[in-house]
Each structure stands twice: as structure tokens, then as C-alpha cells.
Amino acid sequence: MAREKFKTLTEQMFYILLCLQEECNGVDIMDKVSEMTGGRVQIGPGTLYSLLERFQEAYMIKQTKVEGRKRSYRITQNGQNALIEEYERLHKLIAAYDGYWQMRRDI
């Protein structure tokens, strides 16, 4: 079965939306994601700008400023909702994992 668009977020999607709690341009986003993850997650320009376009089409982010070729973005309420849903989904996964290992220890 195909995954519903943006029902779950990839790691790159999650971090992009997290960065856009504040107005950022593409270079800012790439730098912030690398900093947040200690360099573990890198987002290349092709991936980044493709995702930014898809997020805009889904009204998850909005363009806030254009200075020449430099464009800045910020998360919308739709994007915030998706980010919160993903956060909650991840917490449920962790709780299930912890519950499984707790049950195994009790055996």
C-alpha cells in the first residue's frame, strides 16, 4: 500500500520543518540540520529544494522573503501539525520498543 503523502516524515523532512520554526533560507537550513545532528544528517541542495517545493505545494511552509536568488521560508500551521504528528508517532514507537524490552526482562 502506498504511503499517504506526508503521513510520516523522512528524517530530512522532519529536520527541515523543525528549522523553519524560524525564518530560514536554504543555506541556513542545510547548516542548521548539520549542526543539530552533529553532522549525522546532511541535506544536499537538490533534496532540499525539491522538499521545499513539495512543502510549499502542500501549504506546510510559506515563502517569506526573496532577495535575488535567495529565498526564505517559515513553517505554517499545516507544517506545524505534521511536525507534531511525527513527533508523537516517534514517541509511540519508542514507548512500544521500551515496553517490549520491559516485558522481556519480566519473563
Structure confidence at residue 27 as a pLDDT band (50, 70, 90): very high
Structure confidence at residue 101 as a pLDDT band (50, 70, 90): confident
- Whether 45 shows a pLDDT value over 80: the answer reads yes
Side chain identity at 66, as an amino acid letter? V
Per the model's pLDDT, the better-predicted residue between 5 and 98 turns out to be 98
- Which three-class secondary structure state does DSSP give residue 39? coil
CB 55 within 8 A of CB 15: no
Structure confidence at residue 1 as a pLDDT band (50, 70, 90): very low
Domains of the chain, with CATH numbers? 11-106 (1.10.10.10)
pLDDT at residue 4, as a whole number: 61
- Whether 107 shows a pLDDT value over 70: the answer reads no
